[in-house]
Amino acid sequence: MNNEEIKKDYLKKIKKIIKLNQSYYDKNSPLISDGEYDILKKKIIFLEKKYNFLDHKDSPSKRVGFRPSRNFKKINHKVPMLSLSNAFSEEDLINFEKKIVNYLNEETNFTIEYSAEPKIDGISASLIYKKNKLVTGLSRGDGQTGEDITDNLKTIKDIPQNIDAKDFPEEIDIRGEVFIQNSDFKKLADKFANPRNAASGSLRQKNPEDTKRIPLKFIAYTFGFGKGLKVNNQSDFLKKLSEWGFKTNHLNKIIVGTKNLMENYNQIEKKRSDIDFDIDGIVYKINDFQMQSRLGFVANAPRWAIAHKFSANSGISKILDIDIQIGR
Ligand code: IVH
């Protein structure tokens, strides 16, 4: 292929991903499976890396999610809601760790502690608390600007609206995932394509009374900004979250070494179908906050975290035609 053809093929893929994003985020209706989407995203990023003349403002390497819907007021996130880079193999994990050790200029025998958190496949939300009260709740939107879905988020029982704890920060933006349990999804399966879309659809109803009818759950896992937050690492932050009344994932673990990350990954992947919510991988975050801030960010993802995705072994098939035949 010459450069002209490579560019043509690249733009075709970009056009396709724009259409898929629109359908997924705006209409809550996926056109292909998550696995197939990831493959397309990987192909685009691979092409951009290989041919540096390829670039597009809507490339998945630049954008997170899709623009906010017209139904809700738009509010800028004080701290952007970023994406995560993906790892698919043990080799990717080894490279991830190597790059970190290199970047930090540490000895090769330096050990890194990770917070390993099963990645719930739901909708992320940002909850802004001021003086112990939930004041605003936003969707991720395009990562920079979210939708004001406060009234809808307030219908979720797992989201505390008032927090009494003495050590609760003066102002904090607590972030986590809104999702629907598979057992609850079964009752709604005729209305939505999958649990993630059921969560997204219910969360973005115009009328909060409609959201209230859907048994949405919330699990907290990070924060955007925090004024007066006194914790030094992710595992202590997760402990604080549950002391303050948030639900956290009971499968979160602290792990050292890529071999042990692999072991945990394999164990959880085996258990995947017994867990009552969809997980599409494990997120690894460097536990130490100081180390996180030394590492910082690249493009739209942190250098200190990665999502280790489970292999996509299922796709969506569309039945094009049914041919009814009468037997003897
Ligand atoms: S941390 C910059 N922790 O994964 C840090 N994200 O691709 C990014 N997710 O939008 C967020 N479980 O919707 C984080 N334990 C977890 C998570 C998690 C699921 C989702 C979240 C985010 C996406 C990143």
Q: Which amino acid is located at 267 in the chain?
A: Q
> Which amino acid residue places its CA nearest to atom 21 of ligand 1?
124
Q: Which H or E run contains 153? A: helix 150-153
Confidence at residue 300, expressed as pLDDT on a 0 to 100 scale: 84
Q: Which of 63, 117, 124, 235 to mutate to test the pocket of ligand 1 (most atoms within 8 A of CB)?
A: 124
Residues ≥6 apart with Cβ < 8 Å to 183: 276
Q: Catalytic residues, which ones?
A: 119
Q: 307 C-alpha to center of ligand 1: Å?
A: 8
What percentage of the chain's residues is helix, strand, coil (to nearest 5)?
Answer: 35, 25, 40
Confidence at residue 302, expressed as pLDDT on a 0 to 100 scale: 95
Q: What's this model's pTM, rounded to 2 decimal places?
A: 0.79
Dist CA 230 CA 236 (whole Å): 10
CB 148 within 8 Å of CB 72: yes
Q: 180 C-alpha to center of ligand 1: Å?
A: 16
Span 283-325, pLDDT tens digits:
999 999 999 999 999 888 999 999 999 987 555 555 666 777 7
Q: Which amino acid is located at 37 in the chain?
A: Y
Q: Which of 63, 221, 293 to mutate to test the pocket of ligand 1 (most atoms within 8 A of CB)?
A: 221
Span 37-93, pLDDT tens digits:
888 988 988 898 899 899 888 887 766 555 556 678 999 999 999 999 999 999 999
